[in-house]
């Protein structure tokens, strides 16, 4: 009898405790640390209907009508410092005209870009370079509504940023997939080039996995010949179904206009960055605390290597993950977790994909001898 009463008491006590904990957390969510943000993304199946010659569509109007309402114009105001005229450094000039304005002046300069509404909660994805250092940001919707926007989070290393607006009845783009794209797939770029208004250009996927361009720290671009011009940055690259497959980011041009070589950040990468910025406030990437460089033919000869595959450690952070794993300058990394790496980009990507706290196996050549090192991955410091 006593045992049964004790069990009933424990059960009642636990139930009351859980109820109180629920009430406290509901009323004071900040006690758990950063308040969680709610986001609902509209995910499509990403399946593209590829036709044989003679069976192709004659219009992409349906795809454009599906995606265009969720593409916005982004207006950013950035402070610019104007240097004083060099004439003020001339003693003769100052003698006749006075010292004038000796210090630099601040003025505001408008910056134009595009963005994509990804959720009904008002989250907008754009390029970081569109809004970097902006003092004011405004967003103009395709339906004519204009509203100030707040910078929710940014990741300069992937050149992505998340804006937040407070409006109801927002059009939301459907997310496609970038991992099943093929060279030759039809794509459409939507944005606001040169501020002329929302514009759609068409082309195909010209290349995949483009990197080493020196645009971002982490690069895995979709290359397209759809015309992308200034003002398109942050806009949408969509497939023939009207689903988002990329964020238009950069062009290769010597004149400033489109030469048929544009680059977009794949939607799979963009979605991951968006989710992390909303959940954590920053993007979490793996880090070993090493500075690495590609192996040139000259270095390969000096290290008596058979090829230029891999990277050499040129510097190392004291007490960092690599230092604790007994790695050293001059070590040559050839494999990460058994996967061969060819250059700086591949090695950096492989390391960054690991979560802090995970163990990573590195195949290293030191003084001509191959060995393996196990390192505990740390978190990459923000820029």
Given a cut of 70, is residue 57 above it in pLDDT? no
Given a contact cutoff of 8 angstroms between Cβ atoms, the answer to whether 379 and 290 are in contact is no
Q: Are 156 and 132 in contact (CB under 8 A)?
A: yes
pLDDT surpasses 80 at 338: yes
Give the pLDDT confidence of 58-107 residue by residue, as tens digits: 788 999 999 999 999 999 998 777 665 565 566 655 555 555 555 566 67
- Per-residue pLDDT tens for 179-212? 889 999 999 999 998 888 899 999 999 988 887 7
Residues above pLDDT 70, as percent of the chain: 78
pLDDT surpasses 90 at 56: no
Annotated active-site residue in 159, 185, 225, 331: 159
pLDDT value at position 274? 93
Active site residue 129: yes
Measured distance CA(245)–CA(236) in Å, rounded = 8
Question: Which of 158, 178, 233, 352 is the catalytic position?
Answer: 233
Q: What is the pLDDT of residues 131-184, one digit of tens each?
A: 998 999 999 999 999 999 999 999 999 999 999 999 989 999 999 988 889 999
Of 156, 106, 107, which is closest to residue 131 (Cα–Cα)? 156
In the predicted structure, residue 304 carries a pLDDT above the cut 60? yes
45 or 233: which leads in pLDDT: 233
pLDDT attached to residue 210: 83
What would the mean pLDDT of 239-263 be, rounded to a whole number?
82
**Catalytic residue selected from 111, 114, 119, 129:** 129
Compare 5 and 212 and report the one with higher pLDDT. Answer: 212
List the domains of the chain with CATH numbers: 72-164 (2.40.10.10), 174-280 (2.40.10.10), 286-379 (2.30.42.10)
The predicted pLDDT at position 59 comes to 85
Angle at the Cα of 217 from the Cα atoms of 214 and 223, rounded to 5 degrees: 60
* Mean pLDDT rounded to a whole number for the chain: 82
Q: What local confidence, expressed as pLDDT, does residue 280 receive?
A: 87
Query: pLDDT grade, residue 51 (50/70/90)?
Result: low
pTM of the model: 0.74
């Amino acid at each position: 009898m006593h045992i049964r009463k004790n069990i009933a008491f424990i059960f009642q006590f636990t139930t009351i405790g859980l109820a109180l904990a629920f009430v406290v957390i509901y009323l004071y969510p900040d006690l758990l640390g950063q308040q969680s943000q709610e986001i609902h993304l509209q995910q499509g199946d990403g399946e593209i209907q590829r036709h044989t010659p003679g069976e192709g569509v004659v219009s992409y109007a349906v795809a454009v009508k599906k995606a265009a309402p969720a593409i916005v114009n982004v207006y950013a105001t950035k402070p610019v410092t104007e240097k004083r005229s060099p004439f003020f450094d001339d003693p003769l000039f100052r003698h006749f005209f006075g010292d004038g304005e000796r210090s630099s002046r601040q003025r505001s300069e408008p910056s134009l870009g595009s963005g994509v509404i990804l959720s009904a909660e008002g989250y907008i994805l754009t390029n970081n370079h569109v809004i970097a250092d902006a003092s004011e940001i405004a967003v103009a919707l395709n339906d004519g509504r204009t509203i100030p926007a707040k910078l929710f989070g940014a990741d300069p290393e992937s050149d992505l940023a998340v804006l937040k607006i407070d409006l109801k009845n927002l059009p939301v783009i459907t997310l496609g997939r970038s991992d099943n794209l093929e060279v030759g797939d039809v794509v459409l770029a939507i944005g606001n080039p040169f501020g002329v208004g929302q514009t759609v250009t068409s082309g195909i996927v010209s290349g995949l996995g483009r990197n080493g361009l020196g645009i971002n720290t982490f690069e895995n671009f979709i290359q397209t010949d759809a015309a992308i011009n200034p003002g398109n940055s942050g806009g949408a690259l969509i497939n023939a179904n009207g689903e988002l497959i990329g964020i238009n980011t950069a062009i290769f041009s010597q004149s400033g206009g489109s030469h048929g070589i544009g680059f977009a950040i794949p939607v799979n990468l963009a979605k991951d960055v968006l989710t992390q910025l909303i959940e954590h406030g920053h993007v979490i990437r793996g880090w070993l605390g090493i500075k690495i460089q590609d192996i040139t033919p000259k270095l390969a000869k000096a290290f008596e290597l058979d090829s230029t595959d891999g990277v050499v450690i040129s510097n190392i952070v004291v007490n960092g993950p690599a230092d604790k794993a007994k790695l050293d300058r001059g070590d040559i990394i050839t494999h990460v977790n058994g996967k061969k790496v060819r250059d700086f980009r591949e090695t950096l990507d492989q390391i960054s994909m690991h979560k802090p706290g995970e163990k990573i196996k590195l195949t290293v050549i030191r003084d001509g001898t191959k060995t393996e090192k196990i390192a505990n991955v740390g978190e990459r410091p923000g820029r």
